[in-house]
Amino acid sequence: MALQAGIVGLPNVGKSTLFNAVSNSAKAQASNYRFCTIEPNVGLVDVPDERLDKLAELVQPNRVVPTTIEFVDIAGLVKGASKGEGLGNKFLANIREVDAIVHVIRCFEDENILREEGEINPVGDKEIIDTELQLKDLESVEKKLARIEKMARTGGDPKAKRELEVLLECKDHLEKGLNIRALDIAKEDRGAIADLFLLTEKPVLYVANVDEASILTGNKYSEILKAAVQSEGAEVIVMNNSIEAQISEMEDPDDKELFLSEYSLTEPGLNRLIRSTYKLLQLITYFTAGVQEVRAWTIQNGWKAPQAASVIHTDFEKGFIKAEVISYDDYVKFGSETAARENGRFRIEGKEYVVSDGDVMHFRFNV
């Protein structure tokens, strides 16, 4: 699956530093000036999963393959981006192409790092980005309204009339300075805006980039941010992006563990970010486990067995016969596939089976 999370924020808040830390396949330029990033950088990121490690320990395969997601480092937005300021149209188009947003917000003081917005103000920074995305969405909604309004009022088309109602609701919502993701739109009505790929409809989580002293507890700025987004139900992850970048460069596990212990960290903050982004995109993992390979596979939550099989190969879905399933907990409890079978924890599932997170699966197919 090629789902992407876009890293966004104002210039010089630590977006590219975060991307460099999180990505194991690409490096972005990180510098102390506006628009250091112009073309979006894209990197594949391994999803940390202790379950994969445990299965590998039990099976002892020839290789272990984690699942991945894509992060996109998008250039810093500025006030007026919706009207083209700071190459805004290009950058907003980059955001339109991703599936979720990781919004990085500066929550530290450092006079050596350029900041054009005045004093540190995490809520104000968030609102600048929100406003630009809302204005761009409002433009998109109004363009479609102009088309649909005429159809609804002259053609008597009930579908067009309902679309008009939904679009007017969205317009009113955006004009109030609210994001579309906070608007309760019925599933059957979402077709009215599906073709607009609205920016503020995308799910979001926030990264509070704090100073070194605040890694564990956060600070007044990160607490202000948490309070501001509480009504959204959005997650705020507190981390120091520069330290995370240093950790990611360490290849020796012992060096990494020692470095983490110096900051009283049990794991890199990036692990939490990656897992949270995975959850934000409504993804789950199933596993295949054999002597040749133990591997994690990414699917959308709610997928049925044939769809899940398709991520291995499209032929698996076309010729699907059945799925052999052992839950992760049962696999670990009994220690092997054979033992799980012997204890009656091996299941045969058909085309209507909805895959659960952590299922260990084999597919039978015929093409």
pLDDT tens-digit series, residues 182-195: 998 998 999 999 99
**What is d(CA 122, CA 209) in angstroms, rounded to the nearest whole number?**
10
Q: Is 15 known to sit in a ligand binding site?
A: yes
**pLDDT above 90 (res 10):** no
Query: Is position 124 within any domain?
Result: no
* Per-residue confidence (pLDDT) for residue 83, from 0 to 100: 61
Strand partners, 294: 64, 289
Q: For residue 334, is pLDDT > 90? A: yes
Q: Is residue 266 part of a domain?
A: yes
What's this model's pTM, rounded to 2 decimal places? 0.85
Q: Are both 91 and 160 inside the same structural domain? A: no
Is the domain of 8 the same as that of 31? yes
Is the confidence at residue 316, as pLDDT, over 50? yes
Query: 342-359, pLDDT tens digit by residue?
Result: 999 999 999 999 999 999
Report which of 50, 54, 48, 49 is spatially closest to residue 336, judged by C-alpha positions. 54
My answer on whether 11 and 113 are in the same domain is: yes
CA distance 342 to 336: 10
- Point out the domain boundary residue: 141, 173, 200: 200
* pLDDT over 70 (residue 249): yes
Q: Give 284's strand partners.
A: 299
How many domains would you assign to the chain?
3
> Are 154 and 232 within one domain?
no
Shared domain for 137 and 190, answered yes or no, is yes
DSSP tag of 213: G
Residue 16 marked as a ligand binder: yes
Whether residues 160 and 309 fall in one domain:
no
Q: 214: annotated binding-site residue?
A: no
Residue 272 domain flag: yes
- Does residue 10 sit within a domain? yes
Residues 233 and 337 in one domain: no
Question: Do 96 and 235 have their domain in common?
Answer: yes
Cα-based distances in Å from 240 to 71, 100, 105, 154, 208: 18, 22, 11, 57, 8
Work out the number of other CB atoms within 10 angstroms of the CB of residue 152: 20
The enclosing domain of 339 has a CATH number of: 3.10.20.30
Residue with token string 């596939």: 337
Q: Last residue of a domain, which of 153, 175, 200?
A: 200
- How many CB atoms neighbour CB 298 within 10 A? 20
Q: How distant, in Å, are the alpha carbons of 240, 253, 258 from that of 215? A: 6, 21, 16
* CA 97, 101, 102, 105 torsion-angle sign: positive
Token digits of residue 203: 């799910």
CA distance 128 to 123: 9
- Residue 264: both structure tokens together: 């009283």
Tokens of 245: 């970048």
Tell me how far CA of residue 337 lies from CA of 322, 330, 332, 334, 356, in angstroms: 17, 9, 9, 8, 18
Q: Check whether residue 274 and residue 306 sit in a common domain.
A: no
What CATH code is carried by the domain that includes residue 186?
1.10.150.300
Percent of the chain having pLDDT more than 70?
89
The pLDDT of residue 115 is above 70: no
Average pLDDT value for residue range 324-339: 97
pLDDT at 75 over 80: no
Angstrom distance (rounded) from CA 99 to CA 107 = 25
Query: At 23, which CATH number?
Result: 3.40.50.300
Q: Is residue 269 part of a domain?
A: yes
Could you give the angle at the alpha carbon of 327 between the alpha carbons of 326 and 333, nearest 5°? 95
Convert the pLDDT of each residue in 201-244 to its tens digit. Answer: 999 999 999 999 999 999 999 999 999 999 888 999 999 999 99
In this structure, the answer to whether residues 102 and 150 fall within a common structural domain is no
Per-residue confidence band for 50, with pLDDT thresholds at 50, 70 and 90: very high
CA–CA distance, 180 with 178 (Å, rounded to integer): 7
The CA distance from 215 to 56, in Å, is: 32
335 shares a domain with 192? no
Query: For residue 353, is it within any domain?
Result: yes
Whether 358 and 329 have beta carbons less than 8 Å apart is answered as yes
Q: Binding site annotation covers 17?
A: yes
In this predicted model, what pLDDT tens digit does every residue of 272-292 receive, in sequence order? 999 999 999 999 999 999 999
Domain boundary among 179, 200, 221: 200
| Shared domain check, 254 and 223 | yes
Q: Which helix (H) or strand (E) covers residue 220, if one does?
A: helix 220-229
Mean pLDDT value of segment 105-130: 85
Residue at 56 is within a domain: no
Domain range holding 222? 4-48+66-119+202-280
Residue 296 lies in a domain: no
Quick one: which H or E segment has residue 184? none
